[in-house]
């Protein structure tokens, strides 16, 4: 990480109340040295954006476990751009779509929406932390995100 501590916004989007995994993620991110602004459950997309603007956040990590992530996250990148957060790092994770779909299909939907990373259910927290470190390093080199 660079000299300035990175600020991350976390929360559970939409009408989703599944907060436990998001809280565990937030605690692990804090332990890894990030400043975390945890918005909790039932968070509208606009609240993520507002918090990111107010805190000059470096990334937003959106969680959704109730299967409506595709609906709740539609237009998220556009909201960021409208708020002047064109280059903010956006991650989304969880059980994002109702029904059984191959993960590469689900991931592509969210990458096409403008998210930089999409995490499947059960992804290890260490992987998210590794992604953040690599993506922040890539940003410092003028890249959108690290190559996988």
Q: Where are the domains of the chain?
A: 7-140
**What pLDDT does 1 receive?**
43
CATH architecture of 7-140: 3-Layer(aba) Sandwich (3.40)
> Parallel, antiparallel, or unpaired for β 59-64 and 89-94?
parallel
Indicate the DSSP class of residue 140. H
Per-residue pLDDT of the chain (148 residues; tens, 9 = 90+): 445 699 999 999 999 999 999 999 999 999 999 999 999 999 999 999 999 999 999 999 999 999 999 999 999 999 999 999 999 999 999 999 998 899 999 999 999 999 999 999 999 999 999 999 999 999 999 888 888 8
What's residue 43's pLDDT? 97
The catalytic residue positions are 16, 18
């Amino acid at each position: 990480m660079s000299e300035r501590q990175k600020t991350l916004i976390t929360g559970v989007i939409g009408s989703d109340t599944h907060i436990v995994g998001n809280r565990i993620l937030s605690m692990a991110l804090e332990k890894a040295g990030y400043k975390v602004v945890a918005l909790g459950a039932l968070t509208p997309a606009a609240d993520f954006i507002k918090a990111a603007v107010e805190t000059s956040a470096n990334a937003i990590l959106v969680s959704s476990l109730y299967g409506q992530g595709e609906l709740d996250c539609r237009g998220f990148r556009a909201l960021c751009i409208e708020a002047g957060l064109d280059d903010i790092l956006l991650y989304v994770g969880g059980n994002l779509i109702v029904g059984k779909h191959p993960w590469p299909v689900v991931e592509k939907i969210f990458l096409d929406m403008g998210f930089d990373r999409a995490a499947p259910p059960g992804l290890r927290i260490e992987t998210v932390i590794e992604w953040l470190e690599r993506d922040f390093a890539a940003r410092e080199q003028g890249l959108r995100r690290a190559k996988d």
